[in-house]
Structure 1
Amino acid sequence: MNLDFAQLVPSIPYILYGIWVTLQFVAVSLVLGFLWGTVLSLFKIGKVTILRWFADAYTSVFRGTPLILQMLIIYYAVPQLTGMDIGAFTAGVLTFALNSAAYISEIIRAGINAVDKGQKEAAIALGVPYRSMMLKIILPQAMKNILPALMNEFITLTKESAIVSVIGALDIMRRAQIVGASNYRFFEPLLLAGLIYYLLVMLLTLAGRVMERRLAKSD
């Protein structure tokens, strides 16, 4: 086997810096996706028909088309239509946030529906306004139930974030590709990138299990 990891050593810090870029990208995408997903979930359970249709159609489109297609449309097609340049990092964040919101909206909707109906009936009987009831009574209980599912979404985003390398974002994968191209040796840097992603996912999985145990104890 023609392997030489010694040539990879000088490039390891360069590839490792991609961890910060990847986590930054994933964290921003998740926060934006969570906020927009929350709005969509409220649309879905609301009484305004047009908003329900919009939220359902939005979820259908983003769940029914490839993520990489959505990213390429935002990075290449939107600037063609608007004349505005969109950076690789920004395009990646927008794509993942919009895509993740579709999945998160379903998670939150399921969490809200899982809350005991008696909570809502009691709030209505006490004259609590709908907005206050959702923000202070229903959503907090729903969030506690869906935290493990949101953690899984975070893990999925971390793995899928590798596709931003297609548009040149300097994440872990892109840096590994650059190192491979400069040395004409791809196996070693790609193997290191795979190991980094695996370790990140394992750490997030352990964090998710710890969170689940703490939630179970608090019940």
Structure 2
Amino acid sequence: MESLDFSVLAEWENIRLLLQALVYTVLYTCAGFILSLFIGLLIAFGQMSKVKAIRFISLAYLSWFRGTPLLVQLFLLYYGLPIIFKVDTVAWISGVIALGMYSGSYTSQVIRGAIQSIDKGQMEAGRSLGFSYAQTMRKIIVPQAVIRMLAPLTNEFISLTKNSSLLSTITVVELFRQANIMIADTYKTMEFLFAVAILYYLLNNVIGYLGLMLEKRFHTGDDLR
């Protein structure tokens, strides 16, 4: 059995390619997360809407995107659209959209849960001051809810970072795809897999640390002490 040879990871070109791919992974993840926040906000308010049709559409969205694997959604979006609608697709754009739509279904529940956890008296207080429903939500409810969203949204961001590795299946050159390309060139499978695992580990711990700092900055959970 051939022994491991980690010297391949000390070569500057390999380091450069892995770090470059890591940057792309961060960019794709951030773009997908921003999209998921937008979608999540729409779905969350859709669920809380008094209009039955809007609630139905929101629940249907949740049922589909939480009930099917991200990998299937990626394939349907990237390979399905050209076949069904004759639409040309770009791999990384399809990947970001799929990440955002998938994550948006989970983000919506974080947003909805945080908003509904705010005491109803806050809404009544806002309305008594002459604010409209929208003004009360924007100025009183949502700012308080955002603080409660920090921890679960950090977790969702970390999950999305790990899920971004699935973009490799539709030819997007992110960290995992780049590692596979280098493995094919060098036949150093375990060496590059270890390197990728460590990079994901470091990246996700940085995200977790930043989330923790935000929680401390806004004193999340102080009311429970």
TM-score range (shorter-chain normalised) is over 0.9
Q: Identify the residue that residue 5 of structure 2 maps to in structure 1.
A: 4
Structure 1, 113-122 or 129-138: larger mean CA deviation: 129-138
2:215 to 202, 212, 215: 212
**Misfit runs of 4+, over 6 Å:** none
Using the TM superposition, give the Cα deviation of residue 11 of structure 1 relative to its aligned residue in structure 2, in angstroms.
1.4
Using the TM superposition, give the Cα deviation of residue 94 of structure 1 relative to its aligned residue in structure 2, in angstroms.
0.6
1:50 to 46, 49, 53: 53
Matched, 1:146 2:144: no
Matched, 1:187 2:190: yes
CA distance in 2, matches of 1:64, 1:206: 31
- Specify every segment of 5 or more residues in structure 2 that has no aligned partner in the other structure, as ranges: none
Using the TM superposition, give the Cα deviation of residue 163 of structure 1 relative to its aligned residue in structure 2, in angstroms.
0.8
Alignment of 1:1-219 (within 5 A): 1-8=2-9, 9=11, 10-216=13-219
CA distance in 2, matches of 1:21, 1:191: 19
Name the SS of the counterpart of 1:216 in structure 2.
coil
In the comparison of the two structures, how many residue pairs are matched? 219
Kindly, what percent of the aligned residue pairs are identical? Answer: 36
Using the TM superposition, give the Cα deviation of residue 136 of structure 1 relative to its aligned residue in structure 2, in angstroms.
1.9
Instruction: Report the TM-score, using the length of structure 1 for normalisation.
Output: 0.95
The one-letter code matched in structure 1 to 2:143 is P
Using the TM superposition, give the Cα deviation of residue 80 of structure 1 relative to its aligned residue in structure 2, in angstroms.
1.2
Using the TM superposition, give the Cα deviation of residue 123 of structure 1 relative to its aligned residue in structure 2, in angstroms.
2.0
CA distance in 1, matches of 2:43, 2:93: 22
CA contact (8 A) 2:147 2:215 kept: no
C-alpha RMSD over aligned residues: 1.5
What does the per-residue CA deviation read over 1:66-108, in whole Å, with 9 as the maximum and x for residues that have no partner? 1100011001001212212211111110101001110111100
The one-letter code matched in structure 2 to 1:62 is F
CA contact (8 A) 2:110 2:149 kept: yes
CA distance in 2, matches of 1:193, 1:22: 12
The one-letter code matched in structure 2 to 1:150 is L
